[in-house]
Amino acid sequence: MSSFYAMAQKARSKKAFLQTDNRHLTYGGLVEQLGKLNRFIDTAPLSSGDRVVIGCDDDEFKAVLFFALVDNGMVPIIVSSEIRASEFELIAATTGVAGCIMDAGILQRCCPDARDLKLRLEIRKREKQSSFMNKLLGSKKQGDGQAMHFPALLDSLETRGAPESWPPGHIAYISMTSGSTSNPKAVPVTHGALHAHLKTLSVHFRYSAESSLLNILPLHHADGLVQGPLVACFNAGTWVRPFAFSIQNIEPLLLSFYRHRVTHAVFVPTILALLYRYGATLLDSFEYEEFDFLISAAGYLEEALWHDFESTFGIRIANIYGLTETVTGALFCGPDEETRRLGSIGKPVDCEAIIRAEDGSQTDGVGELLLRGDNVFPGYIGRKGVNDDVFRDGWLRTGDLAHRDEDGFFYIDGRIKNVVICGGENIYPEEITEVLGQYPNVIEAACLGIEHPEWGEILVAALVVDGDYVEEKLVSWCEQQLSHFKVPKEWMVIDSMPRGPSGKVLLPALRKAFAGRAAVTSGTGSTDLLSKVIAIAASVFHVAVSDLGPQSSPENTSGWDSLAHVNFILALESGLGIQLATREIMGISSLQTAFDIVAQKIR
């Protein structure tokens, strides 16, 4: 694959590579930064194949550093800016980290001692003084006067080109799996796999230099990285990233489409559901000539949401099924009418897919979905035992149950490892979730198993509902659609599903919500409500209860970012058995205001 430096050189120098609401980076600017980073890497104590962790809040810096490291044969690992020391230690032990390029706070938190690192480079916000003043005021210099922090170190450097290509089997970068149900695993993506998949995405979605791709997903997740800056640069297009996503900025996000003349956008089903729920006043958001379609990735797109979103906004949604282990995608549903079928994950593109039954035979009926192709990874780093199990005769086992219809479209039926065994009966929660989604008042559902002293496990259901909801009526309806043992035993209504940055429903969070709901229900009413609010916040933000108080807010609380704010709202609703209106959600700016609103709601 050509270097990102070479790709950027081929684009018009004044064309925007990155466009935000308050600044943009042109391809000319990208070429200059990459050229100077190439020169810096010449002097850095790094070798081809060295793993280098990138951790910062600035998405432009992440993309530029990622490109430069990949171009020069190093192996970047982008991590969340909220990464904790224990998480970093796991990554370092698994991958053999040789260097870190991070914001000062992340460096201090994760690797304060540089004895075992070849490179420990601090990222700082660019100072507004002139380059001359930067050199005078730089707090730490190399012998030649170069500032020893990024990006100021670039000011005194000349540029050089990058190697044109690396062997297909050379590792380009490493992604960490989300780890929602287990410890994260290190997924190596080779240059060959990356090139093959960028070409697939480009051809299938018709990307070009005229494309303006909106993607606000986190860059430490595959769909945020590959379907954002990487595919944009690959096609000399523009990557639109106006601001971080939150419930509060749904309307500004929809307004961004026309303002930036977006042609494509990549979302997860969670964001699509929130846009549908809170963006109904902006139904003309996509009514301009350049817009083509939306892309849903990183999670199962329920047929009801798919249909309702398209009908409401008058647009098309293309659906991608894939894994971190396949770069991002493998099966595509849409965007054209002949290539899509609502409710399906589509058909394989530039790879092979089969379904294998329990006895090992190939089938079109329900069985495990297996994949094979140039975009499939070679195996997890340092996990030989896991790799022996995840590959079968050269095929990648996805762990997903699927079936294929007579026209060749694939459908997901559940997860092999997500089986609830209730009184000896096997129940696949996804099957029940799909049925619940057909009920008129249910917007979204998630089913899971929780421990039970008599049955071993019971199936429970969390629901997002619209309008009047009567549990008895829903149970009666379910008994007409399902075998009796498949009907959920407990129900909980919440405002929306808790999800991780990749869009997956966080089953552990739902389990905690059910446990918290039971604790609240069984309480005497004398428990301090403020203590409960603080305890919920501590769990969501991953901080100690003692570190929080009524004045805790996003400005002074580690971990309270836009995504965590959404999960905090959901945890309050599910843990305390309430539902918050949009105006109440908007009013939560501290734990004190959260307590005031919750207390009023309960009264």
Break the chain into its structural domains and give their ranges: 4-9+23-237, 245-412, 420-482, 507-602
Non-local (6+) Cβ contacts of 196 within 8 A are: 327, 350, 373, 374, 375
pLDDT attached to residue 338: 92
Residue 169 has pLDDT above 50, yes or no: yes
Domain 245-412: which topology? Rossmann fold (3.40.50)
Helix, strand, coil percentages (3-state) for the chain, rounded to 5, are: 40, 20, 40
Pick from 58-72, 122-136, 303-317, 464-478: least confident: 122-136
Q: Under a CB-based contact definition with an 8 Å cutoff, are residues 395 and 430 in contact?
A: no
Tell me the one-letter amino acid at 574. Answer: S
Between CA 210 and CA 18 the distance in angstroms is: 14
Between CA 25 and CA 102 the distance in angstroms is: 21
CATH code for the domain defined by 4-9+23-237: 3.40.50.980
| Segment 295-310, tens digit of pLDDT | 999 888 889 889 999 9
Between CA 592 and CA 590 the distance in angstroms is: 5
Q: Under a CB-based contact definition with an 8 Å cutoff, are residues 491 and 464 in contact?
A: no
- Using DSSP bridges, classify how beta strands 395-404 and 367-372 pair: parallel, antiparallel or unpaired: antiparallel
Tell me the one-letter amino acid at 16. Answer: A
How far is the first Cα of the chain from the last one, in angstroms, to the nearest whole number?
Answer: 62
Mean pLDDT of 354-381: 96
Residue 13 has pLDDT above 80, yes or no: yes
Going through 393-455 in order, the beta strands assigned E by DSSP cover 395-404, 410-415, 420-422, 425-427, 442-452
pLDDT attached to residue 517: 63
Between CA 317 and CA 295 the distance in angstroms is: 6
Model pTM score: 0.78
Neighbours of 127 (CB within 10 A): 15
Q: Under a CB-based contact definition with an 8 Å cutoff, are residues 412 and 355 in contact?
A: no
Domain 507-602: which topology? 1.10.1200
Between CA 321 and CA 330 the distance in angstroms is: 6
Mean pLDDT of 91-105: 95
Apex CA 241: angle with CA 582 and CA 503, to 5°? 55
| Segment 307-361, tens digit of pLDDT | 999 999 999 999 999 999 999 999 999 999 999 999 999 999 999 999 999 899 9
Pick from 78-92, 196-210, 472-486: least confident: 472-486
Q: Under a CB-based contact definition with an 8 Å cutoff, are residues 568 and 499 in contact?
A: no
Residue 180 has pLDDT above 60, yes or no: no
pLDDT attached to residue 398: 95
Examine domains 4-9+23-237 and 245-412 and report if their fold is the same.
yes
- Using DSSP bridges, classify how beta strands 331-333 and 317-321 pair: parallel, antiparallel or unpaired: antiparallel
pLDDT attached to residue 506: 83
Higher pLDDT, 509 or 208: 208
Mean pLDDT of 513-518: 71
CATH code for the domain defined by 420-482: 3.30.300.30
Residue 179 has pLDDT above 80, yes or no: no
pLDDT attached to residue 128: 56
| Segment 106-133, tens digit of pLDDT | 999 998 877 689 999 999 986 654 444 4
Q: Which helix (H) or strand (E) holds 320?
A: strand 317-321
Residue 142 has pLDDT above 70, yes or no: no
155 to 68, 72, 413, 575: CA distances (angstroms):
16, 20, 55, 52
Share of the chain above pLDDT 90, in %: 55
